[in-house]
Structures are given as structure tokens and as C-alpha cells.
Structure 1
Amino acid sequence: MSINRHQIRKIAFQTLFALSSNPEAQPADVYRQLLDEVSKDQPTPAYLEQLVKGVLSQQAKIDALIEQHLNKNWTLARLNKTDLLILRLAVYEIKFEQDLANKIAIDEALQLAKEFSDEKSRRFINGVLNNLI
């Protein structure tokens, strides 16, 4: 059974969340464990590795872009971890994935916010991302 792009983004988000709590963990070990929960013997999708490595390697640039598009009384430090990681994933896809429409990246970010956050966060994430594009 192959997994779809939304499931890949979900696992990428969960991997980034786990790595933010345990920086010594190896990304491949984390997403292997998460993939096994979805489907045993599922090969690691290239897009999953690309997302996780991309967000981690471009994090300084991504964070600078997010910070530029926050309201003036907001900072990255003030964001909850879930919202920040969803924003990082979406900004990575918007700015570094050339073959993906911005609307898809935003829709996927809002879907992740629906699953892992709340309605207030969804509106906040939508506002930041729409300011960015």
C-alpha cells in the first residue's frame, strides 16, 4: 500500500515535531517508525526525506520569511511549536518546491492545522501564508 502526499506531509510534520523535542534523534529512524504505523514494509518515500531534510537545512531562511510576515507584535518564539512547524513545512513547499502550486501547500498546511491544532491556529496560519505569497 503506497501512501499519499498528505500522509507524507503528516509524517514529515510528526518527524519535525519529534526532532524538535529530541535533536539527537536521527530523522530516518523517526520517520521509519512513523511509516511502520501506517504501513509495514513501506519504503521511505523520497518526498518525505526531501521535506524533512529541506525544512531542516533551510530553517534559518524559512524562519526569516515567517518572521517577516507575522503581525508586528508576534515573534517566532511566541508561536506554539505545532503552528511553527506547520508554517515551516508550508513555507518550504512554497519557496523551495518549484513543481507545487502555492494553493496546494496552503491547503495542506490548513489540513495539518485541522488535525493537530485548532480553528484559531488555522486562521492564523492561513493569514501568514497568504501574506507570504
Structure 2
Amino acid sequence: MELTRHQIREIAFQTLFALNTNDQTDWKDFFQVLTSGKYGDEYPEYLHQLISGVLEHKSEIDKTIEKYLASSWSLERIARTDLIILEIAIYEMVYVDDMPAKVSINEAIELAKKFSDDRSRKFVNGILSHALEELVK
């Protein structure tokens, strides 16, 4: 498997976004579509870890995100793209031991640049910077 962790995060983001609207489909099917079947039945372990981890810990991750929102905001108000980016980053910060939190934050900002806009990038950076202070002690 020749995918970098950055590429894996992009595929994880796209897959989680697709699963958000069609949760009856196996994530591996989305992987096949996103990679044009280039990797056959081989799936990067880190991709599986990210997707299954975010889905398994979604409620805890979302509660963590809620703590850093302004009092007038709720998860429902966050753009779906931004929420998924935040979920991936918080998952990495809390559950992936060999991932420095600052790398997760930087990667989340890169995802926001690619899949969203500058306001989203700033929003994601703000939430994760606040989370960094508490989650990484």
C-alpha cells in the first residue's frame, strides 16, 4: 500500500462524508470508488483504524467538540465537512498514541483548505487549538 497518512486522511474524510448520507454501504466500497479500485482488496490499516475509530467513538468525540463550541452553537450548526474534519482530528488526538496532536491539527487544517473554505479552516483551527490545551497534557 503506497498511500501516505495524508492521503489516507483525505480518503477517510471522503468516506465518512459519504457514509453520513448512506450508512448502509460498506466503507470498503467507498474506498474502491475513491481509489478507482487501484489497490484491489488491500485496505490500509490506518484507514480502517480512522474510519472505524471515528464511527465507534462518535458520541464521545462529538461531546468533546461540543465543549469547545461557543454557547450559542450546537453540532447541528457546524457544516458537515467541518464536523467530520474535527471528528478525525479529535479521534487522532485522543485515541492514536503515535500521532502528535500538532500533526493532527495541521492535517485537519489541510483538509479544511482542500474540502472547505478559509472560514472553515479558521474555525477548525480554533476548536482544535482549544482542545489541544486540555486533551494533551
Q: TM-score range by the shorter chain?
A: over 0.9
**1:61, 1:36 → 2: CA distance?**
33
Q: CA deviation at 1:73?
A: 1.2
User: What is the TM-score with the length of structure 1 in the denominator?
Assistant: 0.94
Letter in 2 for 1:26: D
Q: Which residue of 1 is the match for residue 107 of structure 2?
A: 108
Does the aligned pair in 2 maintain the 1:35–1:44 contact within 8 Å?
no
Q: Which consecutive unaligned segments of at least 5 residues does structure 2 have? A: 133-137
**Residue 3 (structure 1) aligns with:** 3
Query: Structure 1 CA distance, aligned partners of 2:35 and 2:107?
Result: 19
Q: Deviations over 1:82-117 (max 9, x none)?
A: 000000000000011011000000000000000000
Which residue is equivalent to 2:135?
none
TM-score normalised to the size of structure 2? 0.92
Alignment deviations for residues 22-68 of structure 1 (CA, whole Å, 9 cap, x no partner): 1111112112222336x444721000000000000000000000000
Identity of aligned residues (%): 45
Segments of 4+ in structure 1 off by > 6 A?
A: none
Which letter maps to 1:27?
Answer: W
Instruction: Tell me: CA distance 1:9–1:125, structure 2 relative to 1, closer, same or farther (3 Å).
Output: same
Are the aligned partners of 1:6 and 1:108 in contact in 2 as well (CA < 8 Å)?
yes
2:32–2:40 CA contact under 8 A, matched in 1: no
Contact 1:32-1:44 at 8 Å conserved across structures: no
Residue 12 of structure 1: aligned partner: 12
Alignment length, in residue pairs? 132
Residue 99 of structure 1 aligns to a residue whose secondary structure is: coil
Gaps of 5+ in 1: none
Q: Quote the residue 2:121 is aligned against.
A: 122
